[in-house]
A and B are shown apart, each in its own frame.
Chain A
Amino acid sequence: MIEPAWAATAPALVVAVTALVLFLVDSIDPESNRPALLSGVALVGSLAAMGVALVYLLTGVGESPVSLYGGQLVVDQMTLFFHVIFTSVTTVVVLGSHDYLDSHPYQAEYYILMLLAVTGMAMMAASGSLAVAFVALELASLPSYALVAFMKQNRGSVEAGLKYFLIGALSSAVFVFGISLVYAATGTLLLDGIADQLVEGTALPGVLGVGMLMLIGGFAYKTASAPFHFWAPEAYEGAPAPVSAFISSASKAAGFALAFRVLITAFPVASAGVQNALDWTVVAAVLAVVTMTLGNFAAATQENVKRMLAYSSIGHAGYVLIALASLTGTGDQSLVLGAGMIHLLVYGFMNTGAFLFVALAEYWDVGRTFEEYSGLGTQAPFVSVAMTVFMFSLAGLPIGAGFLSKYYLFAGAVNGGLWWLALVGAVNSALSLFYYSRVVKALWIDEPDEPHTIESYPAALYGAIVVAAVVTVGLLPGLFLFDGVAFDAAAVLFS
């Protein structure tokens, strides 16, 4: 426990206050561009938030869930675990953005939007009612639309922003209509209250079922899973690469944080109301198969590295959906949910690192396709080693922690009786090795048509990539020591 109780939301508060400080700094002298000052403030803020979240998580502040404002906000170990994911991704992305933005105007707005989006994500992970969930989802989404369209002279960026916005607006309308249907069936928006109502069943099982399906649609959009994944390749390819890193790692984790909490807390599979309306584990299983197969097959056909990473991001959403599908009530629930959370943590680092490598390539103007990446291994061996680590870790080879988190996920699925789902995941994982290793082959083996001319080695972007690589590798032994934190955090949700 922590006194006063609102201090439990400190990670979100620190991020929000940092955004306001940036507003202040920018309003004092809006004309001058001070990249170092702005990114410095943003970096300090996100580092501080990460520190607070880590300390809270490791000291067990959320072991008995802190309930705020009549249950509207809930801070438990799972919330704090996700806060660590969001803030660490933000820290790495902010560090990488410093060089990427270079002398671009409106840098203060960039960091403000990013920090406000993180605030929304932190609220999503802490939402105790569907009302907070929707407001937080919008707070996370609206700045993201603007961030994707940030390069407003760049047609690709604008187009990506438009498509992201169109599908985002559509799916948030679907999401809020789903909320209204759940409210119609149960008469409350509090997650605990909904679960209490459903113990006895509901008079409107059909309405509840459609409402739940629409809520899942909202989660699918935020996590870039089928059937609302169309925006992802466009948005990730067109957006500035650090923003792609941010959205594909942090935003996806936020969507899953919300999905885990809402589905597990409000719609326990065992209760009569859910049994009559919709068994969401079946929906999750179908979506998992479709999402990972579609993501991996589409990724295998890409020529553009950024677009390949976008489809691989869809594939990874499919892997995490395995965790949701396996919550059938048999086997160790907290094991498989904890596996999903660990995968999101590891994915946060390896995927952010991979997108930041793309950012570095854009910074150097080497182009976007696999062929254009050839020969970078001899020119920039240091980051190329890092990129190799990210690729093999994403594929699930035991060079980074991606191996371990996937292993936990598949083991959890088998444990929950869904061995066929684990098999589909393993086959997909094997397929993914093909397109990930294409990047590695291009970097180290292929001869470039004409050698790249690399003039400068941006220190901050290098630093961000190295941090991501070190954490990706370090988590491999690290997870043996700390995986208990995730499993305990997941267990709090079922108690």
Chain B
Amino acid sequence: MAVPVQYYLVFSTLVFCIGLFGVLTRRNALFFLMSVELMLNAANINLVAFSFYHGNLTGQVFSLFTMALAAAEVAIGIGIILVLYRNFADVDVTSATTLRW
């Protein structure tokens, strides 16, 4: 392997942390979705890199599943954000406060 596998681990952890930071700080629900996508793709980087490292295809195949599920999750998420917008006229995740936190 041209690039040592630890570098991929550091890279994916960075991407994961950027996603996590976005989840914790962004108030716009759509940015939230993008941040979650980053976190899921960080896992994909690991899976593909270590698939190569271990010399089996399990990780690569599973990363395809992860992508498909990420797409499904976004579809549901967009639907919920749409009804959020219709009810609260906003996509700010902190504006919906009829229930107590």
Contacts and interface: CB of A to CB of B under 8 A. Distances in A.
Contacts of A177: 12, 16, 39, 42-43, 46
A179 B42 CA distance: 12
B11 interface: no
B81 interface: yes
A279 interface: no
Contacts of A189: 58-59, 62
Nearest to B95: A159
Given A134-B69, A170-B36, A161 B16 contact: no
Nearest to A175: B43
Given A156-B98, A161-B80, A176-B40, A183 B32 contact: no
A184 interface: yes
A181 interface: yes
Contacts of B81: 162
A149 B86 CA distance: 13
Interface string B56-92: 1011011001100100110011011101101110000
B66 A142 contact: no
Contact of A146 (B19, B44, B54, B79): B79
A197 to B, nearest CB: 10
Nearest to B63: A180
B50 A174 contact: no
A149 B16 contact: no
Interface in B15-55: 16, 19, 23, 29, 32-33, 36, 39-40, 42-44, 46-47, 49-50, 53-54
B93 A173 contact: no
Contacts, number: 126
B99 interface: yes
A238 interface: yes
A233 B66 CA distance: 29
A247 to B, nearest CB: 15
A170 B23 contact: yes
A158 B81 CA distance: 9
Nearest to B54: A187
B96 interface: yes
Pick from A152, A158, A187 the residue with the most CB of B within 10 Å: A158
A181 B46 contact: yes
Interface string B4-18: 000001001000100
Contacts of B101: 234
A200 to B, nearest CB: 15
Nearest to B82: A152
B69 A238 contact: no
A282 interface: no
Nearest to A186: B54
B95 to A, nearest CB: 9
A158 B87 CA distance: 8
A69 B1 CA distance: 32
Contacts of B39: 170, 173-174, 177
A145 B96 contact: no
Given A180-B46, A189-B58, A234-B99, A169 B77 contact: yes
B76 A173 contact: no
A9 interface: no
A367 to B, nearest CB: 16
B40 A156 contact: no
A181 B50 CA distance: 9
Contacts of A170: 23, 36, 39
Interface string A106-150: 000000000000000000000000010011001000100110010
A169 B76 CA distance: 10
B76 A166 contact: no
Given A162-B29, A162-B81, A187 B43 contact: no
Contacts of A169: 32-33, 36, 73, 77
Contacts of B88: 155, 158
Contacts of B73: 138, 142, 169, 172
15 contacts: A131-B65, A138-B72, A145-B80, A159-B84, A159-B96, A159-B99, A161-B80, A161-B83, A162-B81, A166-B93, A169-B77, A173-B16, A173-B39, A180-B43, A180-B46
Given A149-B80, A155-B87, A238-B99, 17 more contacts: A131-B58, A131-B61, A134-B69, A135-B69, A138-B69, A159-B87, A159-B96, A166-B93, A170-B39, A173-B36, A177-B42, A179-B62, A180-B42, A183-B62, A187-B54, A188-B56, A189-B62
Interface of A: 131, 134-135, 138, 142, 145-146, 149, 152-153, 155-156, 158-163, 165-166, 169-170, 172-174, 176-177, 179-181, 183-184, 187-189, 207, 233-234, 237-238
Interface of B: 9, 12, 16, 19, 23, 29, 32-33, 36, 39-40, 42-44, 46-47, 49-50, 53-54, 56, 58-59, 61-62, 65-66, 69, 72-73, 76-77, 79-81, 83-84, 86-88, 93, 96-99, 101
